[in-house]
Amino acid sequence: MKRIFRNKIFYLLIFLVILGIVFIFNNDNEPTEELTEDEFFTILEDGKVTFLKLEPQKRVFEISGQLKGYEKDQYFIATVPNSEISMNRMNNAAEEHNIEKIVVMPQDTETSRWVTLFTTAIPIMIIFILFSAILLLVFVIKRMNHFK
């Protein structure tokens, strides 16, 4: 009975550790407000935007920024096609309303946190498995010599 209880606790602990890792890596800050493309351009052309940050993602721009009246940690997020028309609309609105700050981020070439986790964890697991196999082999050899 104790053995079953210990095994269940062991698997429960492993599950909780894995669950914790998943929550840590997926705990991104949620935006205050998510805007559609039309809503974004309407707000931008009305001069309600004070800050813009553009991040190219494949064929779209992921835009985050602040509206007038937002607190420091509040922001909106919008996805706009990476096209000449969209860029012209944003540039015209930015010039017309003197937006304080526009930041264009370079294309994201950073590796995923999951890739980093697995590339660091897999070698450690391989070393652990090899070490365990060697210990098991030594144990078996000693047992075989004991019976001779």
| pLDDT, tens digit, 9 for 90 and up, residues 117-148 | 888 889 999 999 999 999 999 888 888 887 76
Q: Which residue has the tokens 């920024």?
A: 65
| pLDDT, tens digit, 9 for 90 and up, residues 32-80 | 678 888 888 888 888 888 888 888 887 888 888 888 777 777 788 888 8
| pLDDT, tens digit, 9 for 90 and up, residues 3-24 | 655 677 778 888 888 888 877 7
> Quick one: which of 28, 31, 39, 32 has its CA closest to 80?
39
Looking at residue 55, its amino acid is E
pLDDT of residue 109: 63
pLDDT of residue 148: 65
Split at pLDDT 50, 70, 90, the class of 95 is confident
Q: Is 0.75 topped by the overall pTM?
A: no
Average pLDDT, the chain: 80
Domains of the chain by start residue, with CATH = 2-26+111-147 (no CATH), 33-104 (3.30.720.210)
Q: How many CA atoms lie within 13 A of 24 on its CB side?
A: 9
pLDDT of residue 108: 60
Residue 64 makes CB contacts below 8 A (sequence gap 6+) with 31, 52, 53, 55, 75, 76, 77, 78
Pure H helices in the chain: 2-25, 37-45, 84-97, 113-147
What span, in angstroms and rounded, lies between the C-alpha atoms of 88 and 102? 14
- Written as six digits, the tokens of 106 are 């370079």
